[in-house]
Amino acid sequence: MKHRFDIVVDGETVAARAGQTIMDACDDAGVYIPRLCDVEGLVPQGSCRVCTVKANEHPVAACTQPAEARMKVENDTLEIKNYRRDLVRMLFHEGNHLCPICEASGRCELQAMAYRLGISQATKYPYLQPVRPVDASHPDIALDNNRCILCGRYIRASRDVDGKNVFEYVGRGIHKRIGVNAKNLAATDASIDDYAMSLEVCPVGCIIRKREGYFAAVGERQFDRRPIGTDIVAPRRRGRSRPRGERAKDAEDSEQSCAKNV
């Protein structure tokens, strides 16, 4: 049996096993740590930094940092929340994220994360407004790099699950983007049935499955009714041990965010 120990997350004891990351342990315990580049089933890479927590006073990425015995983790504090808001805003301003015209709206993890973190106003960051070519060569898939947040999820999915290596990062710094392993997407062996092209892999609207857009009506979309992360928060923890007033406020907030999800 694997070595077991406890870590403390925001004052609550969470059981962990040797070899687990902070995020693994928290997911098992039903404590949600916001994340964008990490997703169940793929190797974590710690690039979006949205899962930043403080472990023993030091900021680390929860998806890659191994849990250690007696580790004290800060997750839901104002300081950490502000870092996460800044990071999500940076991603919004780096690309062209026009929610009202995007077919990923309502099931977009970037949009849902912004609502969860309470971002509802314009920020002081400048918009970089990139003009990157859209690759629509493939009969079933289009690739819009302007909506990419460089999470690398479909790079890993194509490499580790499909075994095809269709995608890779190209360039560096602010010019970094996703490239395909050929002249264009049609020239690769990518297929609409690849795991990399499934709806759960791309968190935004960068991979577009042709002829499937807007399949869910407003109100029926993935994050219309419940904020992102609800599936991880353990049922026994939802609303438990929190003052009644605060719970009511949460419900109000999520209702507002549903109404605003355009």
Partner 1 sequence: MPFGVSVAEVLDRAGAKDPAAVQVGGASGEMIGRTDFQRRVCFEDLSTAGAITTFSSRRNVLEIVAYYMDFFIDESCGYCTPCRVGNVFMKKALEKIMRGLGEPSDLDYLSELGKTIIATSRCGLGHTSPNPILSTMKHFPLVYSALLKERSGGLEAGFDIQGALDEARTIAKRRSLIYDATYGSDE
Binding site for partner 1 (CB under 8 A): 46-50, 52, 59, 61, 82-83, 86-87, 90-91, 93-94, 124-126, 128, 149-150, 169, 171-176
86 or 160: whose CB is closer to partner 1? 86
Q: How many Cβ atoms sit within 10 Å of the Cβ of residue 186?
A: 15
1 or 78: whose CB is closer to partner 1? 78
Residues 6+ apart with CB under 8 A from 224: 106, 218, 258, 261
CB of 171 vs partner 1, minimal distance in Å? 7
1 or 174: whose CB is closer to partner 1? 174
Instruction: Tokens for 251, please give them.
Output: 């419900």
Percentage helix, strand, coil for the chain under 3-state DSSP, each rounded to 5:
30, 15, 55
Cβ proximity of 46 and 89 under 8 Å? no
Strand partners, 167: 180
123 or 191: whose CB is closer to partner 1? 123
30 or 66: whose CB is closer to partner 1? 66
CB of 151 vs partner 1, minimal distance in Å? 10
125 or 215: whose CB is closer to partner 1? 125
131 or 174: whose CB is closer to partner 1? 174
Per-residue 3-state assignment (H helix, E strand, C coil) for 12-59: EEEEEECCCEHHHHHHHHCCCCCCCCCCCCCCCCCCCCCCEEEECCEE
d(CA 179, CA 155): 9
Per-residue buried b or exposed e for 209-241, using 16+ beta carbons within 10 Å of the residue's own CB: beeeeeeeeeeebbbbeebbbeebbeeeeeeee
CB of 52 vs partner 1, minimal distance in Å? 5
CB of 235 vs partner 1, minimal distance in Å? 31
DSSP H or E run through 72: strand 72-74
CB of 147 vs partner 1, minimal distance in Å? 15
Strand partners, 178: 169
CB of 189 vs partner 1, minimal distance in Å? 27
CB of 48 vs partner 1, minimal distance in Å? 5
